[in-house]
Amino acid sequence: MRKHVINIFVGLTSLFLTVHASAASNDQVGLKPVTANIMTRLWVEQALVNSMSIDVPWPLRREELPIPPELAKQLTRSVTLGRDADGLEMSVSVMTLVSGSPNNLEGAADGMMDNLKEIPGTRTVNRRKRETTVLGARAIDVSARIEQKQGVPLQLRGLVFFYRGDFVQMLLISRFDDDLGATVWERIRDSIRAAKAR
């Protein structure tokens, strides 16, 4: 059961990475530098689930990832929000597992990083991860430089954690040679907060 749950996370992550990182290496969005004024413009609050929100440069949009049936049946909910703009590609997924599923965060992070090399057009991957906390809960920060066979190297930054029964995965892709990507990620990462009581 534990291995299967890890594969759920890996599968969903791989779907995102295959769609977005491949697009970033081939499309104009991924090749552009991050827009220079992105840190000084007005950011917006984005609700992720009823209990959590973040600040982002623009509203995120609902995305439909083609979840295979064998993965879908292990979830009671799967919501993915994303946006491709200003030289950035961002995605946030919130997944609720069926009751009784183990919360193997380490396995989820390792599986996600292992699958980076499976992205079409990838040549090499230099990856890192570190333990951290989010809203008092254990979390894992992940990062990777993705060298493509063609085009500018990409930088992936991400965060995986469980919060109030949900598995949350945040990913941001930018050009590796653009320091603004790191600045944007840090602001988003630091903005994670519990939603205000209503």
Phi/psi at 137 (5° precision): -105, 150
Side-chain-side CA neighbours of residue 126 (13 Å): 7
Q: What average pLDDT does range 23-44 have in this prediction?
A: 75
pLDDT band at 66 (very low <50, low <70, confident <90, very high): low
Nearest Cα to Cα of residue 45 among 192, 182, 198: 192
Prediction pTM value: 0.82
pLDDT band at 104 (very low <50, low <70, confident <90, very high): confident
End-to-end CA distance of the chain: 38
Say if residue 93's pLDDT is above 80: yes
60 vs 21: which has the higher pLDDT: 60
Which has the minimum average pLDDT: 15-19, 71-75, 86-90, 94-98?
A: 15-19
Nearest Cα to Cα of residue 189 among 171, 175, 173: 171
